[in-house]
């Protein structure tokens, strides 16, 4: 953990942000008392979407004739 005063942070903000980007937690102090903590954002988990077509087939026991959400999105987006 690194510590910087408010004045040092104001004058060297790019350096402090590089430290945070490198994974360090930085404490900002005023008169040697911690007033703020900068830390890297948490690592985001991968988002998984349920298979709605499979769910519909299970719900309506195979009588569902719709298309998957992927196919509908591809059709609505067209060529990008």
Three-class DSSP category at 18: helix
Q: Judge whether residue 4 has pLDDT over 70.
A: yes
User: Which pLDDT tens digit goes with each residue over 8-65?
Assistant: 999 999 999 999 999 999 999 999 999 999 999 988 888 888 887 788 778 877 676 6
Cα 38–Cα 40–Cα 42 angle in degrees, nearest 5: 130
23: containing domain: 2-38
Q: Judge whether residue 2 has pLDDT over 90.
A: yes
Residue 38: per-residue pLDDT: 96
How far is 28 from 4, CA to CA, in rounded Å? 5
Tokens of 79: 């060529």
Are both 6 and 33 inside the same structural domain? Answer: yes
CATH of residue 34's domain is 3.40.1620.10
Task: Give the 3-state DSSP-derived string for 39-75, with helices as H, strands as E and coil as C.
Answer: CCCCCCCCCCCCCHHHHHHHHCCCCCCCCCHHHHHHH
């Amino acid at each position: 953990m690194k510590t910087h005063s408010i004045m040092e942070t104001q004058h060297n903000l790019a350096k402090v942000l590089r430290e945070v980007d490198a994974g360090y937690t930085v404490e900002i102090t005023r008169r040697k008392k911690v007033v703020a903590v900068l830390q890297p954002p948490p690592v985001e988990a991968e988002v998984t979407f349920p298979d709605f077509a499979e769910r519909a087939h299970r719900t309506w026991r195979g009588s569902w004739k719709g298309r998957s959400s992927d196919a509908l999105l591809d059709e609505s987006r067209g060529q990008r």
